[in-house]
Protein backbone atom coordinates (compact mmCIF):
# COMPACT_ATOMS: atom_id res chain seq x y z
CA UNK A 1 0.00 0.00 0.00
CA UNK A 2 2.81 2.34 0.89
CA UNK A 3 4.57 1.69 -2.43
CA UNK A 4 1.36 2.32 -4.35
CA UNK A 5 0.78 5.61 -2.50
CA UNK A 6 4.32 6.69 -3.24
CA UNK A 7 3.80 5.94 -6.94
CA UNK A 8 0.54 7.95 -7.07
CA UNK A 9 2.17 10.92 -5.34
CA UNK A 10 5.09 10.82 -7.74
CA UNK A 11 2.74 10.83 -10.75
CA UNK A 12 0.79 13.75 -9.24
CA UNK A 13 3.95 15.76 -8.69
CA UNK A 14 5.08 15.12 -12.25
CA UNK A 15 1.70 16.16 -13.61
CA UNK A 16 1.67 19.39 -11.61
CA UNK A 17 5.24 20.13 -12.63
CA UNK A 18 4.35 19.60 -16.25
CA UNK A 19 1.36 21.94 -16.00
CA UNK A 20 3.41 24.66 -14.38
CA UNK A 21 6.12 24.37 -17.02
CA UNK A 22 3.52 24.72 -19.76
CA UNK A 23 2.18 27.95 -18.27
CA UNK A 24 5.63 29.41 -17.87
CA UNK A 25 6.75 28.72 -21.44
CA UNK A 26 3.62 30.29 -22.90
CA UNK A 27 3.02 33.39 -20.80
CA UNK A 28 5.94 34.18 -18.47
CA UNK A 29 9.03 36.05 -19.74
CA UNK A 30 12.15 33.93 -19.62
CA UNK A 31 15.46 33.57 -21.45
CA UNK A 32 15.77 35.72 -24.54
CA UNK A 33 15.50 33.56 -27.64
CA UNK A 34 16.69 34.30 -31.18
CA UNK A 35 15.22 32.90 -34.37
CA UNK A 36 16.01 33.45 -38.04
CA UNK A 37 13.81 32.63 -41.01
CA UNK A 38 14.15 33.14 -44.75
CA UNK A 39 11.89 32.89 -47.80
CA UNK A 40 13.51 32.30 -51.16
CA UNK A 41 12.57 34.15 -54.32
CA UNK A 42 10.20 32.46 -56.74
CA UNK A 43 8.50 33.44 -60.00
CA UNK A 44 5.99 35.82 -58.40
CA UNK A 45 5.86 39.12 -60.30
CA UNK A 46 4.46 41.02 -57.30
CA UNK A 47 4.17 40.27 -53.59
CA UNK A 48 1.87 41.51 -50.84
CA UNK A 49 3.71 41.68 -47.51
CA UNK A 50 1.54 41.75 -44.38
CA UNK A 51 3.06 42.27 -40.91
CA UNK A 52 0.96 41.96 -37.77
CA UNK A 53 2.54 42.64 -34.39
CA UNK A 54 0.58 43.12 -31.18
CA UNK A 55 3.33 44.86 -29.22
CA UNK A 56 7.05 45.25 -29.75
CA UNK A 57 9.80 46.84 -31.83
CA UNK A 58 9.60 46.57 -35.60
CA UNK A 59 12.51 47.27 -37.98
CA UNK A 60 11.92 46.84 -41.73
CA UNK A 61 14.29 47.52 -44.60
CA UNK A 62 15.57 46.23 -47.93
CA UNK A 63 18.76 44.59 -49.10
CA UNK A 64 17.87 40.89 -49.01
CA UNK A 65 18.99 38.67 -51.90
CA UNK A 66 16.00 36.48 -51.02
CA UNK A 67 12.40 37.55 -50.68
CA UNK A 68 12.80 37.79 -46.91
CA UNK A 69 15.54 37.50 -44.32
CA UNK A 70 14.14 37.79 -40.80
CA UNK A 71 15.64 37.93 -37.32
CA UNK A 72 13.41 37.66 -34.28
CA UNK A 73 13.99 38.14 -30.54
CA UNK A 74 11.43 37.11 -27.94
CA UNK A 75 11.35 35.91 -24.35
CA UNK A 76 8.07 33.98 -24.51
CA UNK A 77 8.43 30.82 -26.62
CA UNK A 78 4.74 30.79 -27.48
CA UNK A 79 5.15 34.24 -29.06
CA UNK A 80 7.55 32.99 -31.74
CA UNK A 81 6.49 34.77 -34.95
CA UNK A 82 4.74 32.78 -37.65
CA UNK A 83 6.02 33.30 -41.21
CA UNK A 84 3.95 32.08 -44.16
CA UNK A 85 4.30 32.43 -47.89
CA UNK A 86 1.76 31.50 -50.54
CA UNK A 87 2.01 32.00 -54.28
CA UNK A 88 -0.67 31.65 -56.93
CA UNK A 89 -0.17 32.50 -60.58
CA UNK A 90 2.08 35.59 -60.63
CA UNK A 91 1.15 36.92 -57.15
CA UNK A 92 2.67 36.09 -53.79
CA UNK A 93 1.43 36.67 -50.25
CA UNK A 94 3.97 36.89 -47.43
CA UNK A 95 2.68 37.18 -43.86
CA UNK A 96 4.65 37.65 -40.63
CA UNK A 97 2.45 37.46 -37.57
CA UNK A 98 2.71 37.46 -33.80
CA UNK A 99 0.66 34.59 -32.32
CA UNK A 100 -2.31 35.58 -30.20
CA UNK A 101 -1.06 34.28 -26.86
CA UNK A 102 -3.03 35.12 -23.73
CA UNK A 103 -0.89 36.96 -21.23
CA UNK A 104 1.96 37.92 -23.59
CA UNK A 105 2.37 41.66 -23.33
CA UNK A 106 3.76 44.01 -20.71
CA UNK A 107 7.23 43.23 -19.43
CA UNK A 108 8.29 41.07 -22.36
CA UNK A 109 10.93 41.63 -25.05
CA UNK A 110 9.72 41.34 -28.62
CA UNK A 111 11.62 42.58 -31.68
CA UNK A 112 11.56 41.90 -35.42
CA UNK A 113 14.25 42.81 -37.94
CA UNK A 114 13.00 42.16 -41.46
CA UNK A 115 14.95 42.57 -44.70
CA UNK A 116 12.99 42.44 -47.95
CA UNK A 117 14.07 42.10 -51.57
CA UNK A 118 14.68 45.36 -53.45
CA UNK A 119 13.65 44.12 -56.90
CA UNK A 120 10.24 42.47 -56.53
CA UNK A 121 7.27 44.90 -56.75
CA UNK A 122 5.65 44.98 -53.30
CA UNK A 123 2.66 46.18 -51.35
CA UNK A 124 3.71 46.57 -47.70
CA UNK A 125 0.96 46.48 -45.05
CA UNK A 126 1.74 46.85 -41.35
CA UNK A 127 -0.47 46.52 -38.26
CA UNK A 128 1.25 47.39 -34.97
CA UNK A 129 -0.83 47.53 -31.80
CA UNK A 130 1.73 49.04 -29.45
CA UNK A 131 5.42 49.80 -29.87
CA UNK A 132 7.75 51.56 -32.28
CA UNK A 133 8.31 51.02 -35.99
CA UNK A 134 11.37 51.97 -38.02
CA UNK A 135 10.68 51.40 -41.71
CA UNK A 136 13.40 52.14 -44.29
CA UNK A 137 11.51 51.42 -47.50
CA UNK A 138 13.09 53.77 -50.04
CA UNK A 139 15.16 51.05 -51.75
CA UNK A 140 12.19 48.73 -52.24
CA UNK A 141 10.20 48.44 -55.47
CA UNK A 142 7.02 49.77 -53.88
CA UNK A 143 3.51 49.51 -55.26
CA UNK A 144 1.91 50.81 -52.08
CA UNK A 145 2.40 51.22 -48.32
CA UNK A 146 -0.19 50.98 -45.56
CA UNK A 147 0.53 51.38 -41.84
CA UNK A 148 -1.89 51.09 -38.91
CA UNK A 149 -0.45 52.15 -35.55
CA UNK A 150 -2.16 51.80 -32.19
CA UNK A 151 0.09 53.29 -29.51
CA UNK A 152 3.67 54.10 -30.47
CA UNK A 153 5.92 56.00 -32.85
CA UNK A 154 6.59 55.58 -36.55
CA UNK A 155 9.80 56.57 -38.35
CA UNK A 156 9.44 55.92 -42.09
CA UNK A 157 12.10 56.66 -44.70
CA UNK A 158 10.93 56.58 -48.35
CA UNK A 159 13.99 58.26 -49.84
CA UNK A 160 15.10 56.48 -52.98
CA UNK A 161 14.48 56.40 -56.74
CA UNK A 162 10.93 55.10 -57.28
CA UNK A 163 10.03 54.01 -60.81
CA UNK A 164 6.25 54.34 -60.49
CA UNK A 165 3.57 56.29 -58.65
CA UNK A 166 2.41 54.76 -55.40
CA UNK A 167 0.15 55.54 -52.46
CA UNK A 168 1.03 55.69 -48.76
CA UNK A 169 -1.67 55.29 -46.10
CA UNK A 170 -0.76 55.95 -42.46
CA UNK A 171 -3.30 55.70 -39.67
CA UNK A 172 -1.94 56.59 -36.24
CA UNK A 173 -3.52 56.20 -32.83
CA UNK A 174 -1.40 57.69 -30.05
CA UNK A 175 2.16 58.65 -30.92
CA UNK A 176 4.28 60.57 -33.40
CA UNK A 177 4.82 59.85 -37.10
CA UNK A 178 7.85 61.03 -39.09
CA UNK A 179 8.08 60.45 -42.86
CA UNK A 180 11.16 61.25 -44.94
CA UNK A 181 10.39 61.73 -48.65
CA UNK A 182 12.51 61.70 -51.81
CA UNK A 183 13.16 65.16 -53.22
CA UNK A 184 13.37 64.19 -56.92
CA UNK A 185 9.72 63.09 -57.31
CA UNK A 186 6.34 64.75 -56.94
CA UNK A 187 4.76 64.74 -53.49
CA UNK A 188 1.08 65.23 -52.73
CA UNK A 189 0.21 64.75 -49.05
CA UNK A 190 -3.16 64.92 -47.34
CA UNK A 191 -2.15 65.00 -43.68
CA UNK A 192 -4.47 65.63 -40.77
CA UNK A 193 -3.79 65.27 -37.08
CA UNK A 194 -6.39 64.79 -34.39
CA UNK A 195 -4.53 66.31 -31.45
CA UNK A 196 -1.05 67.43 -32.44
CA UNK A 197 0.93 69.48 -34.92
CA UNK A 198 1.81 68.93 -38.58
CA UNK A 199 5.33 70.01 -39.56
CA UNK A 200 5.94 69.86 -43.33
CA UNK A 201 9.48 70.76 -44.41
CA UNK A 202 10.20 71.20 -48.12
CA UNK A 203 6.47 71.28 -48.89
CA UNK A 204 3.92 74.03 -49.25
CA UNK A 205 0.20 73.95 -48.59
CA UNK A 206 -2.14 74.29 -51.57
CA UNK A 207 -5.88 73.71 -51.48
CA UNK A 208 -5.62 71.90 -48.17
CA UNK A 209 -2.83 69.52 -49.25
CA UNK A 210 0.94 69.58 -48.87
CA UNK A 211 2.83 69.54 -52.19
CA UNK A 212 6.31 70.14 -53.54
CA UNK A 213 7.32 72.14 -56.61
CA UNK A 214 8.00 69.02 -58.70
CA UNK A 215 4.49 67.62 -58.38
CA UNK A 216 3.22 69.63 -61.39
CA UNK A 217 5.45 67.96 -64.01
CA UNK A 218 6.98 64.97 -62.21
CA UNK A 219 7.06 61.59 -63.96
CA UNK A 220 6.64 59.86 -60.60
CA UNK A 221 4.43 61.07 -57.75
CA UNK A 222 3.97 59.73 -54.23
CA UNK A 223 0.49 60.29 -52.81
CA UNK A 224 0.21 60.28 -49.02
CA UNK A 225 -2.89 60.05 -46.88
CA UNK A 226 -1.95 60.45 -43.21
CA UNK A 227 -4.38 60.47 -40.31
CA UNK A 228 -3.00 61.02 -36.84
CA UNK A 229 -4.85 60.52 -33.58
CA UNK A 230 -2.87 62.03 -30.72
CA UNK A 231 0.65 63.12 -31.61
CA UNK A 232 2.72 65.09 -34.10
CA UNK A 233 3.14 64.43 -37.81
CA UNK A 234 6.45 65.41 -39.47
CA UNK A 235 6.97 65.34 -43.26
CA UNK A 236 10.54 65.90 -44.50
CA UNK A 237 11.01 66.50 -48.22
CA UNK A 238 14.26 68.46 -48.24
Indicate the pTM of the whole model: 0.84
What is the maximal distance between C-alpha atoms in the chain? 94
More confident residue, 64 or 217: 64
Neighbouring-strand partners of residue 61: 115
Give the pLDDT band (50/70/90) at residue 29: low
Distance separating alpha carbons of residues 87 and 89, to the nearest angstrom:
7
Q: Is the predicted pLDDT of residue 26 greater than 70, yes or no? A: no
> In 78-172, where do the E strands start and end?
82-88, 91-97, 110-117, 121-136, 141-157, 166-171
Average pLDDT score over residue span 30-44: 95
More confident residue, 190 or 30: 190
Average pLDDT score over residue span 84-94: 95
Question: Burial code of 12-45, b = ≥16 C-beta within 10 A, e = fewer?
Answer: eeeeeeeeeeeeeebbebeeeeeeeeebeeeebe
State pLDDT tens for residues 90-146.
999 999 999 986 544 556 899 999 999 999 999 999 999 999 999 999 999 999 999
Average pLDDT score over residue span 63-89: 95
Give the pLDDT band (50/70/90) at residue 16: very low
Write the CB contacts of 38 (distance below 8 Å, at least 6 apart in sequence).
Answer: 66, 68, 69, 70
| Boundaries of domain holding 230 | 2-236
Check: CB of residue 93 under 8 Å from CB of residue 48. yes
Average pLDDT score over residue span 148-156: 95
Q: Is the predicted pLDDT of residue 154 greater than 90, yes or no? A: yes
State pLDDT tens for residues 175-224.
999 999 998 899 999 988 777 889 999 999 999 899 998 878 889 999 99
Domain count along the chain: 1
Average pLDDT score over residue span 158-164: 94
Q: Is the predicted pLDDT of residue 9 greater than 70, yes or no? A: no
Amino acid sequence: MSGRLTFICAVAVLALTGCNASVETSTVPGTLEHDTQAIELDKAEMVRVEMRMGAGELNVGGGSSRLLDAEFEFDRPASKPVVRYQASSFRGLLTIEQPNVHGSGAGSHYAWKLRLNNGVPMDVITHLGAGNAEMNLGDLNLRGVEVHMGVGNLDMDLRGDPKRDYNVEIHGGVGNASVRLPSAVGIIADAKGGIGNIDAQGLEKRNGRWVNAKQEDAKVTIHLNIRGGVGNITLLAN
